[in-house]
């Protein structure tokens, strides 16, 4: 019986060019982003220029984490305690966490079988809030044309959580460029790896000036380059609280070469996704979420659905795959495990039942696809999952009474 022996959490090494840049920063001793020599451009400021250019955004701010980016954007958008903020029911804990940390209240929106926000349910709930924190969870991108039209009609400001969509686009427009603000993560398990870190993009001068001040710029905001002009700060500089969450030059130095390499890496991720998806296609008892032609995703993970499966059957599948070295996560588990939790687990937020999301999550399986996996590894993983899904599904089917046989 075939077995996989790779590690699902092993990322690639930091590229040599990034290590060399990090060494230069350390040798300089100037790790703080505002610790510059006269005329010197810090790595953090240069990173912001690079990412703004790469995404086509007017402004960019580098911060301490993706979660910090979300909170900073919400604060800048004027979210205050007691405000309701719409967000995806299917996302990870830092998203409702960023809302709740401001004393605001997440309002969860249903999930489709293609793992994106349900736009009909969003329309039904739109009157409850002023802001939508849209999570492109696991890299699945909803119909952004339709979403933006809906939000414009309802006066909803959109903040995009692009933690899983760096380098991705909808119909050619990058994620993060649709809403008023786009928030990215540079944490180890994302598309670039600085250990921790976040990047925020926006075209809105007032929002960006506020976010720069919030992030802890003191009165040094003129050292930022992908930033609005000093006039944008005039009315905000003394009234905006400092909520320190800056990025340092060391992380910025590590990130810049990785960002330059992102298109090549994105293609490698999608090659891996393509091999696993092709290997799983048509497996009885399993469905892969549809990926519309307009969705330019960058897959660092893969999800599949086991529609109608009972908890025991899902757990049997996870155990059988684990025994063959394939590590799968289940969004239907009642208790949170490692990074995986679901909206009912976020007890700090009200969570009225969302039957459609419950149905989807009950059969939702999640798998990491690190770039350390070869295409042969991916084909092997698909063969193992296919065999085990088939075995459990057929076993469950034969355990049922024959059709029409029971009254
Ligand atoms: C969907 C989603 N949004 C936001 C974040 C927050 O990113 P960070 O870990 O950089 O705070 C994560 C991190 O896991 C995430 O998965």
Q: Do 48 and 62 touch, CB atoms closer than 8 A? A: yes
pLDDT by residue (tens digit) across 296-345? 999 999 999 999 999 999 999 999 999 999 999 999 998 999 999 999 99
Mutate to test the pocket of ligand 1, among 92, 182, 195, 198 (most ligand atoms within 8 A of CB): 92
CA distances from 279 to 4, 144, 319, 376 (A): 15, 29, 20, 11
CA–centroid distance, residue 124 to ligand 1 (Å): 27
Residue 400 has pLDDT above 80, yes or no: no
CA distances from 26 to 101, 118, 250, 374 (A): 34, 47, 7, 34
**For the chain, percent of residues with pLDDT exceeding 90:** 95
Residue ranges of E strands in 325-379: 329-330, 364-368
Distance CA 243, CA 215 (A): 6
Mutate to test the pocket of ligand 1, among 89, 161, 185 (most ligand atoms within 8 A of CB): 185
Nearest CA to ligand 1 atom 10: 66
Find out whether the beta carbon of 175 lies less than 6 Å from any atom of ligand 1.
no
CA–centroid distance, residue 126 to ligand 1 (Å): 24
CA–centroid distance, residue 93 to ligand 1 (Å): 8
Predicted local distance difference test score (pLDDT) of residue 404: 41
Find out whether the beta carbon of 67 lies less than 6 Å from any atom of ligand 1.
yes
User: What are φ and ψ of residue 49, in 5° steps?
Assistant: -65, -45
Distance CA 245, CA 65 (A): 8
Q: Do 361 and 332 touch, CB atoms closer than 8 A? A: yes
Instruction: Report the pLDDT averaged over residues 149-167.
Output: 98
Q: Vertex 298, ends 332 and 300: CA angle to 5°?
A: 50
Which of 197, 201, 165 lies closest to 183 in space, CA to CA?
201
Mutate to test the pocket of ligand 1, among 98, 159, 187 (most ligand atoms within 8 A of CB): 187
pLDDT by residue (tens digit) across 349-393? 998 999 999 999 999 999 999 999 999 999 999 999 999 999 999
Predicted local distance difference test score (pLDDT) of residue 147: 98
CA distances from 322 to 6, 40, 327 (A): 12, 52, 5
Distance CA 150, CA 113 (A): 20
Q: Do 142 and 175 touch, CB atoms closer than 8 A? A: no
pLDDT by residue (tens digit) across 80-93? 999 999 999 999 99
Predicted local distance difference test score (pLDDT) of residue 405: 38
- In ligand 1, which atom is closest to the CA atom of 183? 4
Q: Do 61 and 52 touch, CB atoms closer than 8 A? A: no
Mutate to test the pocket of ligand 1, among 9, 94, 195 (most ligand atoms within 8 A of CB): 94
Find out whether the beta carbon of 165 lies less than 6 Å from any atom of ligand 1.
no
Distance CA 229, CA 39 (A): 18
Distance CA 218, CA 276 (A): 49
- In ligand 1, which atom is closest to the CA atom of 70? 4
CA–centroid distance, residue 26 to ligand 1 (Å): 27
CA–centroid distance, residue 163 to ligand 1 (Å): 5
Predicted local distance difference test score (pLDDT) of residue 396: 74
pLDDT by residue (tens digit) across 215-242? 999 999 999 999 999 999 999 999 999 9
Predicted local distance difference test score (pLDDT) of residue 397: 65
Q: Vertex 194, ends 188 and 197: CA angle to 5°?
A: 90
pLDDT by residue (tens digit) across 100-112? 999 999 999 999 9
pTM assigned to the model: 0.96
CA–centroid distance, residue 226 to ligand 1 (Å): 23
What is the DSSP secondary-structure string of 4-67? ----TT-PPPPPHHHHHHHHHHHHHT--STT---TTPPPHHHHHHHHHHHHHT-SEEEEESBHH
**Which DSSP helix (H) or strand (E) runs through 173?**
strand 173-174
Sheet containing 198-202: order of strands = 59-63, 198-202, 181-185, 157-161, 131-135, 84-88, 105-109
Instruction: Report the pLDDT averaged over residues 146-159.
Output: 98
pLDDT by residue (tens digit) across 174-193? 999 999 999 999 999 999 99
Query: In the 8-state DSSP scheme, what is residue 109?
Result: E
Nearest CA to ligand 1 atom 7: 66
CA–centroid distance, residue 71 to ligand 1 (Å): 12
Tell me the average pLDDT of the chain.
Answer: 96
Which of 125, 64, 70 lies closest to 93 in space, CA to CA?
70
Predicted local distance difference test score (pLDDT) of residue 399: 60
Residue 406 has pLDDT above 90, yes or no: no
Distance CA 302, CA 385 (A): 12
Find out whether the beta carbon of 55 lies less than 6 Å from any atom of ligand 1.
no
CA–centroid distance, residue 119 to ligand 1 (Å): 23
Predicted local distance difference test score (pLDDT) of residue 100: 98
Mutate to test the pocket of ligand 1, among 63, 101, 159, 163 (most ligand atoms within 8 A of CB): 163
- In ligand 1, which atom is closest to the CA atom of 185? 10
Find out whether the beta carbon of 296 lies less than 6 Å from any atom of ligand 1.
no
Instruction: Report the pLDDT averaged over residues 137-150.
Output: 98
- In ligand 1, which atom is closest to the CA atom of 135? 1
């Amino acid at each position: 019986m075939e077995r996989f022996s790779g590690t699902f959490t092993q990322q690639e090494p930091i590229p040599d060019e990034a290590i060399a840049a990090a060494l230069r920063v350390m040798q300089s001793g100037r790790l703080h982003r505002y610790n510059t020599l006269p005329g010197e451009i810090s790595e953090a400021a240069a990173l912001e220029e690079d990412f703004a250019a790469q995404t086509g955004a007017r402004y960019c701010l580098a911060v301490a984490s993706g979660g910090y980016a979300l909170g900073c954007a919400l604060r800048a958008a004027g979210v205050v305690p007691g405000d309701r903020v719409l967000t995806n029911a299917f996302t990870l804990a830092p998203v409702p966490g960023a809302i709740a940390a401001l004393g605001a209240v997440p309002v969860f929106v249903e999930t489709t079988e293609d793992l994106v926000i349900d736009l009909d349910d969003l329309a039904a709930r739109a009157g409850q809030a002023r802001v939508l924190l849209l999570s492109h969870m696991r890299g699945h991108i909803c119909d952004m044309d339709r979403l933006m039209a809906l939000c414009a009609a309802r006066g909803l400001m959109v903040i995009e959580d692009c933690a899983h969509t760096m380098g991705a686009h909808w119909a050619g427009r990058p994620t993060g460029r649709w809403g008023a603000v786009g928030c990215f993560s540079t944490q180890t398990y994302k598309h670039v790896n600085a250990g921790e870190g976040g990047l925020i993009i926006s075209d809105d001068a007032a929002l960006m000036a506020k976010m720069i001040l919030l992030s802890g710029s003191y009165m040094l905001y003129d050292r930022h380059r992908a930033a609005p002009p000093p006039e944008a700060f005039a009315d905000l500089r003394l009234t905006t609280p400092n909520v320190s969450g800056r990025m340092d030059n060391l992380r910025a130095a590590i990130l810049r070469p990785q960002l330059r390499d992102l298109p090549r890496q994105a293609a490698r991720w999608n090659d891996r996704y393509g091999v696993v998806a092709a290997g799983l296609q048509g497996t009885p008892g399993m469905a892969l979420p549809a990926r519309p032609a307009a969705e330019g995703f960058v897959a660092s993970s893969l999800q599949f659905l086991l529609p109608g499966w009972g908890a025991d059957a899902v757990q049997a599948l996870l155990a059988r795959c684990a025994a063959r070295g394939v590590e799968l996560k289940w969004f239907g588990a009642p208790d949170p495990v490692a990074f995986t939790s679901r909206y009912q687990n976020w007890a700090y937020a009200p969570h009225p039942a969302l039957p459609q999301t419950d149905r989807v999550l009950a059969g939702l399986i999640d798998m990491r696809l690190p770039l350390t996996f070869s295409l042969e590894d991916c084909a092997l993983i698909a063969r193992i999952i296919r065999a085990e899904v088939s075995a459990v599904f057929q076993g469950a089917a034969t355990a049922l009474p024959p059709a029409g046989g029971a009254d």
